A = this chain, B = another copy of it.
Amino acid sequence: MSFVNPLDQLIRRLARLPGFGTRSARRAVLHLMKNRDSLMLPLANDMADVARHVRACAECGNFDTDDTCRICRNPDRDQTRICVVEDVADLWAMERAGVFSGRYHVLGGVMSAIDGIGPDQLRINYLVEKVTNGSVAEVILATSATVDGQTTGHYIAEKLEAVKVNVTRLAHGVPVGGELDYLDDGTLAQAMRARRQIDD
């Protein structure tokens, strides 16, 4: 396509988004052209706005317009509990579920031998420092239930052994709405081992 240059460039850049390819980017651009004032210009503004003003929170790693994010600034949130997550996406997932009222710590990934990511590339030292110097009572490890996620969790737990803090992790088990038939053996084994009394 040699005939429309700025459009081509926009399509090429959009195609780099996850879940997009050239074909879907083309479709999106045509949709944007048809909704120029109601969608395309506002979207361009939003994007520039976010790119310029949103940054990672110096405390927890969440994204916000201020150096310290809304969650870290909120005095109503329990400062004695820290939930450790891999990524901002995981933090958002926890917030959507609305089951945690403490603060977060975003690692920025997991340790991975294959990708050459060691503990020094993650924000683990700062977490240990925060827990050592602060008044934290519980650290909840909410890394993924993958090999790398669990390895990272164990590493952090070990690092925190010297500190007087309660280290917990999310429960493993049958996902709500999940059918036993489709579950892997590992999950079933964990769910069986951690079975609970039916009382309340």
Show the binding face of A for B, using Cβ within 8 Å: 1, 3-7, 9-10, 13-14, 16-20, 24, 26-33, 36, 39-54, 62-65, 69-71, 87-89, 92, 95-96
Residues of B within 8 A of A29 (CB): 50
CB closest chain-B residue, reference A69 = B3
Number of copies: 2
Pick the residue among B30, B43, B63, B88 that contacts A88 (CB under 8 A): B30
Is B6 a contact of A92 with CB atoms below 8 Å? no
A48-B44, A95-B3 are known contacts. Are A16 and B33 too (CB-CB below 8 A)?
no
B45 adjacent to A48 (CB under 8 Å):
yes
User: A26-B92, A50-B10 in contact; A63/B16 too (CB < 8 A)?
Assistant: no
Determine if A13 and B50 form an interchain contact, defined as CB atoms under 8 angstroms apart.
no
11 A-B pairs besides A6-B65, A10-B49, A48-B48 with CB distance below 8 A are A4-B70, A6-B54, A7-B50, A9-B46, A10-B46, A17-B28, A19-B28, A30-B87, A40-B47, A43-B47, A44-B47
Hey, which chain B residues are within 8 Å of A1, CB to CB?
A: 92, 95-96
Task: Report 23 cross-chain contacts, Cβ distance below 8 Å, ordered by A residue.
Answer: A1-B96, A3-B71, A3-B95, A4-B62, A4-B70, A6-B50, A6-B53, A6-B65, A7-B50, A9-B46, A16-B39, A17-B32, A18-B24, A18-B27, A19-B27, A30-B88, A33-B63, A36-B51, A41-B48, A41-B51, A44-B51, A45-B48, A47-B47
Contacts of A31 in B (CB 8 A): 17-18
- Asked whether, in the complex, the Cβ of A4 is within 8 Å of the Cβ of B47, the reply is no
